[in-house]
Structure 1
Amino acid sequence: MKNVTLDELKAIPALQTVPDEQLEWLLANGETIEVEEGTRVFEKGEPLDRTLFMIEGRMRICAEQNGKLREIVVIKPEAITGYLPFSRATNTFGYGEAIEKCRMFRVAKAKIHEAIKLHYELTAAMVHTMTSRVRDFTSQQQQNEKMFALGKLSAGLAHELNNPASAISRGASLLHDQVKRLPALFKEVAALNIAPEKLDKINQILISKTQQTDRPMLNMMQRADAEDDLADWLTEHGIKDYDIAENFAEFSFGPADLEHLHSCTPSPQLDVVLAWMNNYLLQEKMVSDIRESSTRISELVSSVKTFTHMDRDTDKQLLDIHAGLRNTLTMLNYKMRKGNIQVVEDFDLNLPQVKALAGELNQVWTNIIDNAIDAMEPNGSGTLEIRTQLDRHFVCVYIKDNGTGIPEEIQSRVFDPFFTTKDMGKGTGLGLDVVTRIIRQHNGTVKVTSVPGNTEFTVCFPLTDN
């Protein structure tokens, strides 16, 4: 095995400005090692007690994310890894494996501590390496956090869009079937000999039922009773198309209405009239369903556009915070329904507008509300309360959940970067750090109080931007 030389250390970019005597000291206090391809250099959870200077070969570091092993980084020649001065890491978060035969220089942690006291330039070079590593890791984790958030929002949005889109497709298909029946029904209706004044009464009943705006909402039992009453009347009059009962009940028809129709069109004409009316009511219902579904899609698209504020400038603007809160709730609606979570809004709609960056405020609401939903998940249900009020010179938003709560011993750390209680792959610990930075950017404050079953985040913004 060829020992690492001074020239090989000097070839490492981070060490190029370190005086030779300090590198020679490093050589005297470390050792050269070789690792065959496929060999583990270290395992997950081992003490981080050595610094490794990669001279030849490559090593990958892998860790478990979301239940799967993933390659985090590949250490290439002229790189430094492992323990670095002033690092607070104590154990390895994954394992290291040689993907090519490697030749490295290894220095024990105790010797690196000794170098801190003896060799300023060497220490400075290694600290610079550490800060670069932290910066790269932070950038990667921020990107992961964005992808996690985007993944959750896109999954919910896809589900929210799929429901009305499917309803439109289904309604259009059924409507097409009903339209195809019109020629035959027209032929049968045209053959009837009904007096014009009776036709006017039939049309009047039909129009009044379809245009009724105060139609009562029936529960399942009430609806079943209404359908049974209509079905009994139809049976008594020899009409066996019981689908008529279901559709007529939805438009608040009752036996008295059928009696009125019967007085206008006695059997067997009544069968034809009811079939024609049933077809008309079905078409009305399908058009209404298609209209509601398309409106829902438009609202979702509008919420997405407003949520991201694609058409806004990057300068702070006066805005109503309730719009952002409601858009965020729309974006997370699927996840809340899945978690059986009830939302209680207590908004002071007379609040003055605040000067803020709307897109960034939406990140604040998304992170806090999403965390609240996750906290209520173990209970199988929950209540999310959102309250707004004016507190002298501040507009305050209170977001409360009845989830598991935040243990008292970690409450002071929840806003720290990279601190998370979630499983690997479910969070990076940057969500509340993002909240803190955005709120500070707006000269506001964010606080949390928590006991099991009652966690409340308080976000306050000043009315003046100074």
Structure 2
Amino acid sequence: MKPTTQQLREIPDFLNVPDQQLQWLIDKSDIETFTQGEFLFKRGDATAHLSIILEGKIVIKLEQNGNFKVVGEISKNGISGLLPFSRMSSAAGYGEVTQDAKILLLEKSFFKEMVANHYELTESLVHNMTSRVREFTKNNVQSEKMMALGKLSAGLAHELNNPASAMVSSAKALKKHLSHVPEKFKRVTSIRISGEQVDTINDILFNSITNRPENNMKLTERAEKEDELEEWLEGHGLEDAFELTETLIDFCIDIPALQKIYDTTGEENFASAVEWIENVLTTEKIVDEISEASDRIAKLVQSVKSYTHMDRAQEKVAADIHTGIDSTLVMLKHKLKKKNIEVEKHFATELPHPKIYISEINQVWTNLIDNAVDAMEPSGRLQITTNKDKSFIKIDITDNGKGIPQEHIGSIFDPFFTTKSIGEGTGIGLEVVQRIINQHNGDIKVTSQPGATTFTVCLPIN
């Protein structure tokens, strides 16, 4: 049994549509019923009807690599299917009936008559279509942003955790270390040497701190040096010499330097002097570790600010493309390290600074680099090249992954097209990239074959 005009007027979109137009819709439409578990439409089905849900519920699902994701539902008084002026030709997903449904169906062959003779009805359906597109796009853009944020947050959490843990560990070690200082200080104050001798020891000590060389010894070489140093110290009256050798080696204090200290202090005072030197160097080493860890955190925070551009106004500004790319690489460092990806940067010198929306352009680098990493096997290679090409800045991002099948090349910038599984991609990342590039009056192209996929971004300088 078909609905009445009064029943159709319960649909918010039809509130101001005249009765005669609603009656026309009823007269030209058919009623179909669906039971739970059936499909109103499946992916790839031609869209040939306007559908109005009179009873029941329809769940909309998208399929990605055999997995399904619910993206919405339509219940009583909901409108679905083809709408006037819509360019949709086939269904992108599945409409599964989850509650027995009764649906009013209008063939698209009646659309011309509706547009020509029934303005209010057409207007209400067009408004419905624009609202649907706006809401659908907003939800999926939000989903893409949240997915990208989740990836960046995971990487940042990992990167911040390492220096933060190092600071906590070093602080505990420093507290424990300082608790032994009074006893060592007592021994060092009992040393009886001249001021000139003290100056000699201080010169050795502070020279090793201020001119601390980079210690690049291999493990086997270091082990040999520690054994040699431990044996020498024990031969010169130091018990538990193994506790001192690690720190002395860290500051490259070798046997000749220790021999000079021994000659300066004499046998009686040598042990106390070396213990005090090791104590000062240990304190210096722990403070250095804390300083280095806090510096890493500060640099990460600065990279976040640079990446998001959150300390600037949201307007186009002349910016260094390299800064944005470097900040993005910091944001994705955890993912790059996890797959042991080698990054090769070939940045042009004195590259002009185009006017851009910085945070939006950084989204471009994030999506392109993240996709490249996903496409590569462990120990892959990512190449980023920049140069000036006439009135444009040209950026090539190349990975040596499996490549994009030729049959998919023409679709990769289409909304909701993805080869990733549910939860790994929404299918709008590259569509967002293209939209941002278009917003900047730029261009993006892709070439791909196994072992070499290159996305080329061109941004106008002026």
Q: Determine if the TM-score, normalized by the shorter chain, exceeds 0.5.
A: yes
Is 1:115 aligned with 2:110? yes
d(CA) in 1 for partners of 2:111, 2:451 = 48
Map 1:130-141 to 2 at 5 A: 130-141=129-140
Aligned residues: 450
1:39-71, Cα deviation, whole Å (9 max, x unpaired): 435399577577653234555446678999765
Which of 388, 399, 414 is the matching residue for 1:390? 388
Asked whether the 8 Å contact 1:450–1:456 carries over to 2, the reply is yes
Asked whether the 8 Å contact 1:403–1:452 carries over to 2, the reply is yes
Asked whether the 8 Å contact 2:61–2:93 carries over to 1, the reply is no
Map 1:117-266 to 2 at 5 A: 119-120=114-115, 121=118, 129-238=128-237, 239-266=239-266
Asked whether the 8 Å contact 1:87–1:130 carries over to 2, the reply is no
- TM-score, length-normalised on structure 2? 0.88
Residues 434 and 59 of structure 1: is their aligned pair in 2 closer, same or farther, counting only changes over 3 Å?
closer
Note the residue ranges of structure 2 that are not aligned, 5 or more in a row.
none
Which of 448, 452, 455 is the matching residue for 2:453? 455
Asked whether the 8 Å contact 1:396–1:460 carries over to 2, the reply is yes
| Partner amino acid, structure 2, of 1:302 | Q
RMSD: 2.9
Map 1:53-452 to 2 at 5 A: 53-56=52-55, 58-61=57-60, 71-82=70-81, 86-90=87-91, 92-93=93-94, 95-98=96-99, 104-107=102-105, 112-116=107-111, 119-120=114-115, 121=118, 129-238=128-237, 239-376=239-376, 379-452=377-450
1:24 matched residue in structure 2: 26
- TM-score, length-normalised on structure 1? 0.87
Asked whether the 8 Å contact 1:43–1:92 carries over to 2, the reply is no
* Alpha-carbon distance, 1:460 to partner: 1.7
Residues 247 and 94 of structure 1: is their aligned pair in 2 closer, same or farther, counting only changes over 3 Å?
farther
Residues 282 and 153 of structure 1: is their aligned pair in 2 closer, same or farther, counting only changes over 3 Å?
same
Note the residue ranges of structure 1 that are not aligned, 5 or more in a row.
none
1:68-103, Cα deviation, whole Å (9 max, x unpaired): 9765324232112356675333464464423xxx55
Residues 83 and 442 of structure 1: is their aligned pair in 2 closer, same or farther, counting only changes over 3 Å?
closer
Is 1:42 aligned with 2:39? yes
Residue 327 of structure 1 aligns to a residue in which SS? Answer: helix
Asked whether the 8 Å contact 1:63–1:95 carries over to 2, the reply is no
1:257-300, Cα deviation, whole Å (9 max, x unpaired): 22222222344533222222222111111111111111111111
Residues 70 and 356 of structure 1: is their aligned pair in 2 closer, same or farther, counting only changes over 3 Å?
closer
Residue 240 of structure 1 aligns to a residue in which SS? Answer: coil
Q: Give identity over the alignment, percent.
A: 41
| Partner amino acid, structure 1, of 2:412 | V
d(CA) in 2 for partners of 1:401, 1:436 = 19
d(CA) in 2 for partners of 1:24, 1:93 = 26
Residue 455 of structure 1 aligns to a residue in which SS? Answer: strand
Asked whether the 8 Å contact 1:86–1:127 carries over to 2, the reply is no
d(CA) in 1 for partners of 2:32, 2:6 = 15
Residues 192 and 433 of structure 1: is their aligned pair in 2 closer, same or farther, counting only changes over 3 Å?
same
* Alpha-carbon distance, 1:166 to partner: 0.9
d(CA) in 2 for partners of 1:47, 1:360 = 33
d(CA) in 1 for partners of 2:221, 2:160 = 31
* Alpha-carbon distance, 1:301 to partner: 0.9
* Alpha-carbon distance, 1:228 to partner: 2.5
